[in-house]
Amino acid sequence: MKNDIDYLKNIYNFHTTMIQNKVIVVYQGEITHQIVKAFSALTEEAMNKQGEDTFGVKKKVYHIMIECLQNIFKYADDPETGQPQDIGSGVFVVERTESAYSVTTGNAIANSKIEAIRSLLKNVNELDKKELNVLYNKTMMEGSLSDNGGAGLGFIDIARKTGQKLVCHFEPINDNTSFFLLRMIVIRN
Amino acid sequence: MDNLIIEETDDSPKVILDPANNLFELSGKSLPEHVIGFYQPILDWIDFYAFSPNAETNFLFKLEYFNTASAKLILDILLKLERIHADGNKVSISWHSLEEDEDMKDSGEAYAGMMEIPFKHITY
């Protein structure tokens, strides 16, 4: 009996933590194509209800969700083995404060992928908007979708459209894998 | 040659490739699960069309949204149209965007900057 109450209290604590962090959408689990569409629509609804954001802000948040969720779906690896999965799993959290939306995504990846992602994000964070436009066009012209150019284009596009740094962290899971976390900001205006 | 008409869905655009009626259009949203699977038939169709294109081809883009995977395929479409244009058959692009959609406007201008074919930018 007590365990049931403790469990429910934990959920309450989880709920209040989310409220404190101004979370408006959160999901943990398999990211199928249907989930991508459903949660992006859900986030659009949540933003519309609030009624204060410009078209541009809403569109950017929507775009970040589509790009990142599709990346998880396509590129997330098995957390134990680091092997590719048919359907990726992960977590994402959308927060809204007075000044900005924050979208954070997380998924397991094979350790072998870390360097490429880290250096791409480091590069992207150092460029200004003009340079990002050039990099975007160059990557689009040269890349094929089977490269990691598929995921890279998304990061470049998010950086140039938001004008904000992409914050990443790789939390080790085991010898094969780490959990890749990425936080993106959209300023509300 | 046969027309290629694809109905719009909640994650893929409407496609109209109809030379007899001079209708060439890509409109709606583009975030399909399998981007290449969706766009390959369009690219193949344009390759075939290139053998005997209309004297003038006006291609209409009226997209509300496209993800970066689609952006690459849209570029591929434009590059094929550019080849047709370079061979002496007029091609022009009408790039439509919602008035409040700065990002879509910018995308159109970016593509226009990469292409030799004339672009008309229209807001609605």
Q: How far is CA A63 from CA A9, A21, A150, in A?
A: 36, 22, 15
Is the alpha carbon torsion for A16, A17, A23, A29 positive or negative? negative
**pLDDT of A2:** 76
**pLDDT of A1:** 67
Q: Which residues of chain B have pLDDT under 50?
A: none
Residues from chain A that touch B65, judged by Cβ atoms under 8 A, are 59, 62-63, 66
**pLDDT of A147:** 47
**pLDDT of A144:** 57
B67–A66 CB contact, under 8 Å:
yes
Q: Which residues of chain A have pLDDT under 70?
A: 1, 144-151
**What ipTM describes this predicted complex?**
0.92
Of B36, B65, B68, the CB nearest to A153: B68
B75–A153 CB contact, under 8 Å:
no
Residues from chain B that touch A54, judged by Cβ atoms under 8 A, are 100
How far is residue B41 CA from its own chain's centroid?
A: 13
**pLDDT of A41:** 87
The tokens describing A158, both together, are 């998010």
Question: Among candidates B30, B107, B67, which has minimal Cα distance to A70?
Answer: B67
**pLDDT of A43:** 85
- Alpha helices of chain B — where are they, by DSSP H? 35-49, 68-86, 102-114
**pLDDT of B6:** 98
